[in-house]
Structure 1
Amino acid sequence: MTDEDLTLPAALAEAHDIGFFEDHDGYDLQPEETFLWSGEVTEWWRQWTGNASAEPPPLRVFGADGTGGLAAFWVREPAAALETQPLVFVGSEGEMHVIAKDLGDYLWLLAAGVGPLEPIEGIRSDPEPVPALVAVARRHSGLETRPVEAVLAAARAEHPALVEELTRCGGAS
Structure 2
Amino acid sequence: MSASKKDELLAEAVGLHEQGHTEQARERLLPLTAAFPEAADVAYQTARVHDVLGLEAEAVPYYERSLQKDGLGEEDRRGALLGLGSTYRVLGRFGQAVETLRRGVSEFPDDGALRTFLAMALFNTGEHHEAMQLLLRLVATTSDSPDVRQYRPAIELYAADLTRTM
Normalised TM-score (structure 1): 0.27
Bigger CA radius of gyration: 2
1 or 2 for the larger relative contact order (CA 8 Å, sep ≥6)?
1
Greater share of strand: 1
Please state which structure has a larger fraction of its residues in helix. 2
